[in-house]
Every structure is written in structure tokens, then in C-alpha cells.
Amino acid sequence: MKIIKRIFRIFFKIILWFFILSIGFTVLYRFVPVPITPLMVIRLYEQAKDEKKALRLYKDWVSIQKISKHVPQAVVAAEDQKFLTHKGFDWEAMEKAWEQNKKGKRIKGASTISQQTAKNVFLWPGRTLVRKGLEAYFTFLIEFIWPKERIMEVYLNVIEMGEGIYGIEAAAQHYFKKPAEKLTRNEAALIAAVLPNPRRWNPARPTPYIQGRQVWILRQMNNLQPVGMGL
């Protein structure tokens, strides 16, 4: 019985500290820039293992005020058109994805910008049930603690946008040689177009497929309500 009680106490302390730390960091990141993410560390480790690659980590945090208004509009059009109205989860898209997956069909993922932000800031890549469960937990936390504007700001500053490139400012400087606040509507749509696989595609040298996605995103941007300061 003593061993069982000891195991229970250890387990309880682990759970308690998990909640304390997870809630604490979520509150902290509402106000301060996220310094580094698990994915950045993983990519650095992968680069270090590959003798042919140099270590690359380009990121430059900027406030939402210093990001072109076209960028939030483009990523919402491309990734999550219900971003302003949902509470972290697009249940309709998730149900559709589940039904299509059961039929063996591949469709666009149902992850919202909030889910992607939670994953990028707190977790590692993967599709295990544990990882997905943690993603849901952190998505709930950031939707509860952060306003939509902060979720978008963090998303645009930590998302992977190329080999060793993270955030919209680093992407704008690398691909278009200008700050993020100067990105045009077409450039914002090109960056949004490569987000499904930013290590494969280059917005500065778009393939016909990416150009097609850009046209589709621009059309969707016309149909959406403005997404900008204050969201």
C-alpha cells in the first residue's frame, strides 16, 4: 500500500506541475515573445546531424502592428477561414476530414490556426493520440487566455517558413528583401501558398502549382471580411 501511495503522490505532483507550468507559460507568452519552439530545436538537431548542412535559425519577432495587413488576410484565407469565429476548433472541417479519411481519401488538414499555434509553440511534430490530446489542451488554453490578435501575432512569428526560417519577418527579408510591413497583397498570398510545405516550396520562385494556389488565395481574400489590427 505504501508503494501505491507513493506512486500516486508522484503521479499527482507530475500532473500538478504540468498544469502549473503549462498555464504559467501560456500566460507569460500572452505578453512576451516566444524565444524558441520545440520545432526549432528539432530542426537544429537535424541540421547538426547532417554534415552537408550548416546550422540555420533565422527569426526576428515583430509586433502585429509591423506586419502588412495583407498577411493575416492571406493566411486566414489559406489556412483557416473561420478563425475569427471559432473557439479553437473547426468541428465541421474535422468531421469532414474524419469521414474522408475513413474512405481512404486524402484532403486538406482540418487544423485551425489556433491548433497550429499551440502545436508550434508548445509541442513537437507528430500524429500520436498523446500529441493530439496535448494539442487540444493547449489550443483550449490559448483560446481562453489569448485574444485572437495575439494568437495571430504568435502564429506569424513562430511558423516555419523555409529551411531554418521562422516567422513572417525572416521570410519577408529572405524571400523578398523587405520588412514584413512592406509585403504586398500578392507577396502575402505567395507566402501563404507555401505554408503546407515551406521546406519544399519557395514563394520567391513559385511553381505553377503555387501560382495556382496564390490565385485561389487572392480570390478567397476578396470574399473574406478584413482581418487586421484588433482582428
Q: Which pLDDT belongs to residue 100?
A: 64
**Continuous segment of H or E residues that includes residue 205:** none
Residue 58 bridge partners (DSSP)? 165
What superfamily in CATH does domain 33-223 come from? Biosynthetic peptidoglycan transglycosylase-like (1.10.3810.10)
pLDDT at site 108: 55
The C-alpha cell 507568452 sits at: 29
Cell triple for residue 87? 473557439
Answer for the pair 29, 122: CB distance below 8 angstroms, yes or no.
Answer: no
Three-class secondary structure of residue 119 per DSSP: helix
Q: What digits encode the pLDDT tens for the residues 172-229?
A: 999 999 999 999 999 999 999 999 999 999 999 999 999 999 999 999 999 887 766 5
pLDDT for position 62: 97
The rounded distance, in Å, linking the Cα atoms of 36 and 4 is 38
Q: Say what the pTM is.
A: 0.91
User: Which stretches in the chain have pLDDT values below 50?
Assistant: none
Q: What angle do CA 106, 70, 96 make, to 5 degrees?
A: 20
Q: What residue spans define the domains of the chain?
A: 1-32, 33-223
Is residue 146 helix, strand or coil?
coil
Q: Look at residue 126 in the predicted model and tell me its pLDDT.
A: 84
